[in-house]
Structure 1
Amino acid sequence: MKLRVGQTLKSAVDETSVVVIKSPGGETAVTCGGHEMTEQPGAPVPAAEGDAGPGLMLGKRYTVEGVEIELLCSHGGRHAVAVDGAPVEQKSAKPLPASD
């Protein structure tokens, strides 16, 4: 799926939803629980075997090293999210400049 900035993706396996903040521009597969996330998920499906893992936390931003993508969690869930097969990692805050 070609992602657009501002697009909301929802999981078919749980309540996870994310907003695309930065998009790599090409075809990208964002999955949750082993199933692709879409704008309008169909009927609920069971998660893939072994894909129950650390879910996303509401309000946190997530990225994948080596891929120019950033996702904002708008509704947390309990299944692992991945981009093109690579698990997402929570983006760390930028350090504030030291004051003198």
Structure 2
Amino acid sequence: MATTFRTGDQLASTVCTTRVIVVRAPSDGIADLSCGGSPMVAAAGGRPAGAPAAGAVTLLGKRYVDANETVEVLCTAAGTGELTLAGVALAVKAAKVLPASD
């Protein structure tokens, strides 16, 4: 049985240095979040081992969302693995356009 992650959970990749925090999740949680093709796991305390390689795929401080924006994660440590949900790549969340204050 797969582990279900909920809002606020800190997750780590098993194949690279990527770490994320779940910002938004459905009420029944997220069961199939992966990084670099391997399922993510609950993050242990401390910092990730190693450093991200040049050209990291997951970018520090960026938010990643699924197509419907029902799942959102915040990258807290960059890495070389691609974040996917049920085999579909997550996209970097676009910044909201603020109204001009002329």
User: The TM-score by the shorter chain falls in which range?
Assistant: 0.7 to 0.9
Correspondence for 2:38: 35
In the alignment, which of 4, 8, 11 is matched to residue 10 of structure 2?
8
- Whether 1:71 and 2:90 are equivalent positions in the alignment is no
Query: Are the aligned partners of 1:16 and 1:56 in contact in 2 as well (CA < 8 Å)?
Result: yes
Unaligned runs of 5+ in 2: 45-54
Deviations 1:14-37 (A, max 9, x none): 100100000123352110111100
Superposition RMSD in Å: 1.9
Give secondary structure in 2 for the equivalent of 1:68: coil
Q: TM-score, normalised by structure 2?
A: 0.78
Aligned pair in 2 of structure 1 residues 74, 40: CA closer, same or farther (>3 Å)? closer
Q: List structure 1 segments (4+ residues) > 3 angstroms apart after TM superposition.
A: none
1:30 is aligned with what amino acid?
L
Report the Cα distance in structure 2 between the residues aligned to 1:63 and 1:40, rounded to whole angstroms.
20
The alignment-based identity, stated in percent, is: 36
Q: How far 1:2 sits from its partner (Å)?
A: 1.9
Structure 2 counterparts to residues 16-95 of structure 1, below 5 A: 16-26=18-28, 27-40=30-43, 55-66=57-68, 68-95=70-97
Q: TM-score, normalised by structure 1?
A: 0.79
